[in-house]
């Protein structure tokens, strides 16, 4: 069964453009380099300081590979300067 993640990210007010630019780069890297990733998409919410990332991986190993990837570490590190606290993660398991 596939592993799903809903990540809720709170950013510092006014950092939207910078956050979206970094995340667009991260999305592109995930999609290009992770064969075990099924979906990875960042969304705006009704709260302009909160974003939601929908993620799905083929299995736990694919999710572990995401977290260990060079692109996640290097691009993810850039997010530190625009985030307000740690992401809130909800872990899910696909029905199929």
| Residues that bind a second copy in the complex, under the rule CB under 8 A | 2, 4, 6, 20, 23-24, 27, 38-39, 41-46, 51-52, 54, 56, 90-96
Q: Quote the least distance from Cβ 21 to a second copy, whole Å.
A: 9
Looking only at the bridges linking them, the beta strands covering 50-57 and 3-10 are antiparallel
Tokens for 93, please give them.
């398991």
Q: Quote the least distance from Cβ 70 to a second copy, whole Å.
A: 22
Decide: 40 and 25 in contact? Cβ < 8 Å: no
Closer to a second copy by CB, 64 or 90: give it. 90
Closer to a second copy by CB, 19 or 65: give it. 19
| 3-state SS, residue 38 | strand
Which residues pair with residue 37 across a beta bridge? 57
């Amino acid at each position: 069964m596939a592993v799903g993640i809903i990540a809720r990210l709170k950013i510092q007010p006014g950092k939207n453009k910078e956050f979206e630019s970094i995340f667009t780069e991260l999305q592109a890297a995930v999609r290009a380099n992770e064969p075990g990733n099924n979906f990875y998409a960042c969304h705006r919410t009704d709260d302009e300081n909160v974003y939601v990332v929908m993620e799905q991986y083929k299995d736990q190993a694919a999710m572990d590979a995401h977290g260990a990837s060079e692109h996640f570490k290097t691009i993810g590190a850039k997010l530190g300067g625009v985030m307000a606290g740690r992401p809130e993660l909800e872990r899910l398991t696909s029905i199929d």
